Amino acid sequence: MTKPLDEKIEAGVEQLLQQMTLGEKIGQMTQVEKNSIKPGDIAKYGIGSILSGGGGNPEPNNPENWRNMVNGFIEESLTSRLGIPLIYGSDCVHGHNNCVDATIFPHNVGLGAAGETDLVERIAAATAQEMMATGVRWNFAPAVSLPIDLRWGRSYEGFSQDPAMISEMAAAYVRGLIGGDMTTGVLPSVKHFVGDGAASWGSSTRITAEQWELIESDPTLANAKVGEFMMDLLKIGAWQIDQGVSEIDEATLREMHLPPYAATIAEGAMNIMVSYSSWGGFKMHAQKYLLTDVLKGEMGFNGFLVTDWEAIDQIDDDFYTAVVACINAGIDMNMVPFNYMRYIETLTEAVNKGDVPMSRIDDAVRRILRAKMMMGVFDQPICDTPLSVVGCEPHRELAREAVRKSLTCLKNENAMPIAKDSAGLLVAGRHAHDIGLQCGGWTIEWMGGAGAITSGTTILDGIKEAVGDTAEIVYSEDGEFAGAKAKTAFVVVGEEPYAEGMGDRSDLHLAADQVEMIRKVRQNCEKLVVMVLSGRPIIVSDWIDEVDGLIAGWLPGTEGDGVADVLFGDHPFKGQLRYTWPRSMGQIPLGTDDGDPPQFLPGDAL
Ligand code: GLC
């Protein structure tokens, strides 16, 4: 059940609400992307929030510039007529991941494998501290998605396929972000309500290859910076399931996808982000039954609902109709990244015409002001957390601990632990020595990206540090070792970084050139250990019998040295499988039976 309201806060909210004009109320219901807001408009319209979308970074991208940018927006909000502080939001889904030199933790799929609520709570608290050092007080996390179809590009944002475990992990994450009573923490945004992970393949209407002319003019897709690869990605499944239709019945929705919302509301979550997906014949943003009757009524949620990025625009070709439908369905704040004046003017017209009752506006603003007062931003609008906390050693040690605990051993035929003095150790694969590849999506850029995109230690760095000079380590990015023979070879393969629908894939086999590399290195060693860095289980049945050891490394983040800690036996394997691992594409989505057993089941980790 939701936490009881604070009488003092409620009185403060009412007192402020009564002073507000309609324009100021609608201003609070407006969140604008930081590249779109015009100087002076925050004060002029009383804008409630500014956000960074994926990759919405200051230039140069560093903690000090982040703090100067964010505090500049907050300071402008204090000069508005009523001086209501804005709150700045960003996707800090695995650390303050847009900010260079921040600590990047394993994505949720790895934290689920680690399975420790205490660890998740400590990570969330560290993330909140790094955010607050740069003035960011609203985290668009945790995702509480339950990925049913692993072809979904957001599978790595899920902790598990078990609603009870997702609830535990998410509640711990919310506790860590809030940090007691939220005045010394940040506002979590539990997302994406509801059933975002239950969409059916092929049901998304976001974009198709046939709509190529739309791609050119879509600023959000342009923000993905995939350039000429867009058509290639569409051909391998991009945007086939993300934002699609969840065709499950209400009983399944309530049993599988609602519980984490109840758990996080009970922990004090005061914001929920609504899903782009659809259920029950409506896109979620216009789904009044679930948004208002169930979430705000039956479940007693007294925080506020924020849309997803530009989501209102998807509801109807007529923007006025879309705005009326969404606000009346229960949306309280619109994440309107670009044309905020069109939204402000449209909603003002709808209220003046009586299509949106003032009582709905007052309810929305009451919820927003309640959250802001609970955060203490009226008393302390500017954070004083020292910048030195960003990327600090204790946080990096915490991330390294999380990496260790997330590694999931799926096969080990006397191959691990590897002796540090083993006669020559061969290490192969791009993924063994690339910070960007080990972090995955939502890192510095929306889609993430290969290369030295931020500070940290690669997996190879960690191996060299652990072994020192007790053994010769030979590294080859493409697995070329000529005639070398070694006792053990360690090959790191995996997926390229992606986010959201850009990561939807029709085929989850490992890329052919990586399978070829595994087979090449097989000739150079007695024992061959393979680690897969991926946001989800991938198909390994075509090569798993040819290797002696297999580790699911998930998406570990910046502290790759956590891998060596386990590889050489300084720490035991601890990660558990939380997803059913398909043997073939014929076993996707979850529960599809093709007559064969899955490759692995939850609980199969060694
Ligand atoms: C994105 C995502 C959502 C994110 C938001 C802001 O499209 O769906 O998870 O929080 O926009 O970046």
Structural domains of the chain ordered from first start:
7-204+239-388 (3.20.20.300), 407-587 (3.40.50.1700)
CA distance 256 to 269: 19
Residue 215's pLDDT band (boundaries 50, 70, 90)?
Answer: confident
What does the pLDDT average to over 96-100? 98
In this prediction, residue 212 carries a pLDDT of 80
DSSP annotation of 586 reads G
User: DSSP string spanning 250-290?
Assistant: HHHIIIIISHHHHHHHHTT--EEEEPSSEETTEEGGG-HII
Q: How far is the CA of 217 from the centre of ligand 1 (A)?
A: 19
CA distance 368 to 345: 20
- Average pLDDT of the chain is 97
First-last CA distance in the chain: 38
Lookup: tokens for 533: 């860095």
Residue 15: CB atoms within 10 Å: 10
List beta partners, residue 528: 489
Q: Which atom in ligand 1 lies closest to the alpha carbon of residue 276?
A: 8
How many helices (H) and strands (E) are present in the chain, helices listed first? 21, 17
CA distance 430 to 477: 5
Q: Which of 107, 138, 140 for a ligand 1 pocket mutation test, highest count of atoms within 8 Å of Cβ?
A: 140
For residue range 569-587, what is the model confidence (pLDDT) as tens digits? Answer: 999 999 999 999 999 999 9
Q: Which of 243, 309, 445 for a ligand 1 pocket mutation test, highest count of atoms within 8 Å of Cβ?
A: 309
Nearest 5 degrees, angle CA 400-CA 404-CA 409? 155
Contacts with 331 (C-beta within 8 Å, 6 or more apart), sequence order: 274, 285, 291, 305, 306, 307, 312, 364
Q: How far is the CA of 57 from the centre of ligand 1 (A)?
A: 15
Q: Which atom in ligand 1 lies closest to the alpha carbon of residue 52?
A: 12
In this prediction, residue 148 carries a pLDDT of 97
In this prediction, residue 180 carries a pLDDT of 87
Pick the range with the lowest mean pLDDT from 1-10, 265-274, 435-444.
Answer: 1-10
Q: How far is the CA of 405 from the centre of ligand 1 (A)?
A: 28
Q: How far is the CA of 466 from the centre of ligand 1 (A)?
A: 38
* Cα-to-chain-centroid distance, residue 228: 25
CA distance 59 to 242: 31
More confident residue, 181 or 349: 349
CA distance 42 to 341: 12
Instruction: Judge contact between 130 and 391, C-beta under 8 A.
Output: yes
What count of Cα atoms within 13 Å lies in the side-chain half-sphere of residue 108? 28
Q: How far is the CA of 53 from the centre of ligand 1 (A)?
A: 7
Lookup: tokens for 210: 């046939």
Residue 294: CB atoms within 10 Å: 21
CA distance 97 to 51: 14
Query: Is the predicted pLDDT of residue 553 greater than 90, yes or no?
Result: yes
Name the residue with the closest Cα to ligand 1, atom 1: 309
Q: How far is the CA of 444 from the centre of ligand 1 (A)?
A: 14
CA distance 507 to 492: 20
Lookup: tokens for 445: 């850029």
For residue range 182-207, what is the model confidence (pLDDT) as tens digits? Answer: 999 999 999 999 999 999 999 999 99
- φ, ψ of residue 462 to 5 degrees: the values are -65, -40
For residue range 3-57, what is the model confidence (pLDDT) as tens digits? Answer: 789 999 999 999 999 999 999 999 999 999 999 999 999 999 999 999 999 889 9
582 cis-preceded (ω within 30 degrees of 0): no
CA distance 244 to 256: 18
Query: Is the predicted pLDDT of residue 1 greater than 70, yes or no?
Result: no
What does the pLDDT average to over 363-375? 98
For residue range 448-472, what is the model confidence (pLDDT) as tens digits? Answer: 999 999 999 999 999 999 999 888 8
Pairing of strands 49-52, 87-90: parallel
Q: DSSP 3-state helix, strand, coil percentages of the chain (rounded to 5)?
A: 40, 15, 45
Nearest to residue 403, comparing CAs of 209, 556, 284, 300?
556
Instruction: Judge contact between 86 and 375, C-beta under 8 A.
Output: no
In this prediction, residue 89 carries a pLDDT of 98
CA distance 61 to 164: 38
Name the residue with the closest Cα to ligand 1, atom 10: 140
Pairing of strands 304-306, 187-188: unpaired
- φ, ψ of residue 504 to 5 degrees: the values are -65, 130
In this prediction, residue 216 carries a pLDDT of 82
Residue 7: CB atoms within 10 Å: 8
Pocket residues: Cβ below 6 A from ligand 1: 53-54, 91, 140, 191, 308-309, 500
Name the residue with the closest Cα to ligand 1, atom 6: 53
Q: Which atom in ligand 1 lies closest to the alpha carbon of residue 446?
A: 12
What does the pLDDT average to over 370-397? 97
For the chain, give the number of residues.
Answer: 606
Nearest to residue 163, comparing CAs of 570, 590, 597, 503?
590
More confident residue, 239 or 212: 239
Name the residue with the closest Cα to ligand 1, atom 3: 308
Q: Which atom in ligand 1 lies closest to the alpha carbon of residue 53?
A: 12
Q: Which atom in ligand 1 lies closest to the alpha carbon of residue 192?
A: 9
Lookup: tokens for 432: 């063994």
Query: Is the predicted pLDDT of residue 2 greater than 80, yes or no?
Result: no
Name the residue with the closest Cα to ligand 1, atom 7: 309
